[in-house]
């Protein structure tokens, strides 16, 4: 049913999208709202901008997005990154924005402003990140996408990286998102079907510094936006279904000049892990809402209350990938962040704890 509707809608829109638009360009301004969701609105530009410096600051009604009170509702949008627009194509663009209040301070939803300062302070160490975004698909009725309307699919086992009808759900939607990311300029590095049926993962990275948060948020935007056409609602909740179904995380891979140096890299990784252990609870505090429902010690997670680390250990807080252990340098994987974590927060605190303190 939803596939039929989707096909029809695309056919209706296609001739209009093919009309020439002259020199004018549509810029979709995108921002993070007061609940960690995404919002957007469009501005017509007279010509194609060269960089964010050519883009106007804009504003919106923050009382409608849980970002400001009604009596002082204007919130400002400052463009920070440009991506190509896979929906309108041509010279049209997606513009990621930071939110600022009237008094010039970052809005409460804006974790990028602080993250940018942290990344600038640590620039000499050239921090890189790779985030593994897990998410779960729901249909328009709020049921897990593709699951039987009565009852449940068979237990977990055949679904992770699965192939075949009944094992894999909505592959066409996943493909559309992957290609849209590549077109837009998002540094997406791969995808895979997850352990729970209708749960998926995409990876973004390695990205240096502030780019990590920018690219992950844009990938999330594309996922939600394409979902409109399929009638699919991707959820970033870390435990979307109670019971014997895997939760969803956002494993955060992290390296620096020191950890990437052959010969001495492993020593730098071990030093970083010691620092991370001392700040375990501070990290957990910013690693996403409802993460306690996911970090139970089951389903390939470590318990939330204790810190652990190990080579190739998927039940640890921090895992050193097997190949990193073998070659003696590279990166570590922080397995604690939930799927709904703000990437600006996780990348900032990793750098603060290991490089700036």
Binding residues for Mn ion, rule: CB under 5 A, are 132, 201, 251
State in angstroms the smallest separation of the CB of 130 from ligand ADP. 2
Q: Binding-site residue total for ligand ADP (CB under 6 A)?
A: 16
Question: What residues contact 245, with CB distance under 8 A and at least 6 apart?
Answer: 156, 196
133 binds ligand ADP (CB under 6 A): no
CA pair distance 111, 256, nearest whole angstrom: 22
CB of 104 to ligand ADP, least distance (A): 34
Both tokens assigned to 6: 């989707």
Q: Which residues contact 61 (CB under 8 A, 6 or more apart)?
A: 68, 73, 74, 75
215 counts as binding ligand ADP under rule CB under 6 A: no
Q: Which is nearer to Mn ion, 86 or 247 (CB)?
A: 247
User: How far is the C-alpha of 225 from the C-alpha of 38, rounded, in Å?
Assistant: 10
* Window contacting ligand ADP (CB under 6 A); options: 22-30, 49-57, 246-254, 305-313: 246-254
Q: 6: left (phi > 0), else alpha (psi -120 to 50), else beta?
A: alpha
Q: Which does 205 bind (CB under 5 to 8 A by kind): ligand ADP, Mn ion, none?
A: ligand ADP
State yes or no: residue 209 binds ligand ADP (CB under 6 A).
no
Interface region with ligand ADP, contact rule CB under 6 A, candidates 32-40, 235-243, 325-333, 349-357: 325-333
Select from 92, 21, 22, 79 the least CA-distant residue to 51.
79
Per partner kind, with CB cut-offs from 5 to 8 A, the member of ligand ADP, Mn ion, none near residue 130 is ligand ADP
199's tokens: 């749960």
Please give the biggest Cα pair distance in the chain: 60
Stretch that binds ligand ADP, among 30-38, 58-66, 158-166, 198-206 (CB under 6 A): 198-206
Nearer to Mn ion, 64 or 102 (CB): 64
Cis check for the bond before 332: say yes or no (omega within 30 of 0). no
Residue closest to Mn ion, measured at CB: 251
Site residues for ligand ADP, 252-281, by CB under 6 A, read: 253-255, 260
203 binds ligand ADP (CB under 6 A): yes
Residue 201 CA to its chain's centroid (Å): 10
Measured distance CA(244)–CA(180) in Å, rounded = 33
Using CB under 6 A as the binding rule, whether residue 202 contacts ligand ADP is answered as no
Smallest separation (angstroms) from ligand ADP to the CB of 212: 9
Nearest to 191 by CA among 165, 167, 223, 217: 223
Residue numbers at the binding site for ligand ADP (CB under 6 A): 128-130, 132, 189, 203, 205-206, 251, 253-255, 260, 330-331, 333
């Amino acid at each position: 049913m939803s596939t039929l509707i989707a096909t029809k809608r695309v056919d209706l829109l296609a001739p209009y999208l093919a009309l020439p638009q002259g020199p004018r360009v549509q810029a979709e301004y995108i921002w993070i709202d007061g609940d960690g969701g995404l919002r957007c609105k469009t501005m017509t530009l007279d010509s194609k901008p060269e960089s964010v410096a050519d883009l106007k600051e804009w504003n919106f009604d923050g009382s409608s997005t849980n970002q400001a009170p009604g009596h002082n509702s204007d919130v400002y949008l400052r463009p920070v990154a440009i991506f190509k627009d896979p929906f309108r194509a041509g010279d049209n663009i997606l513009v990621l924005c930071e939110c600022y209040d009237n008094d010039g301070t970052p809005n409460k939803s804006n974790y990028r402003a602080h993250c940018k300062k942290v990344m600038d302070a640590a620039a000499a160490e050239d921090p890189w990140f790779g985030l593994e975004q897990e998410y779960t698909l729901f249909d328009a009725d709020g049921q897990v996408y593709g699951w039987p309307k009565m009852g449940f699919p068979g237990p977990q086992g055949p679904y992770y990286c699965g192939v075949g009808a009944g094992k894999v759900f909505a592959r066409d939607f996943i493909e559309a998102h992957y290609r849209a990311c590549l077109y837009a300029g998002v540094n997406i590095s791969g995808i895979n079907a997850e352990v729970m049926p209708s749960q998926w993962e995409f990876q973004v990275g390695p990205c240096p510094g502030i780019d990590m948060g920018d690219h992950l948020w844009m990938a999330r935007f594309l996922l939600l936006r394409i979902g409109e056409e399929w009638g699919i609602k991707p959820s970033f909740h870390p435990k979307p279904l109670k019971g014997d179904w895997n939760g969803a995380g956002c494993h955060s891979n992290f390296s620096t000049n020191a950890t990437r140096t052959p010969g001495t890299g492993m020593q730098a990784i071990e030093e970083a892990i010691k620092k991370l252990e001392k700040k375990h609870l501070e990290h957990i505090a910013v690693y996403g809402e409802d993460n306690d429902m996911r970090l139970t010690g089951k389903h390939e997670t470590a318990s939330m209350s204790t810190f652990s680390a190990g080579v190739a250990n998927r039940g640890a807080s921090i895992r050193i990938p097997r190949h990193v252990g073998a070659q003696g340098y590279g990166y570590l994987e922080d397995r604690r962040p939930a799927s709904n974590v703000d990437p600006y927060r996780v990348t900032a605190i990793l750098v603060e704890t290991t490089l700036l303190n």
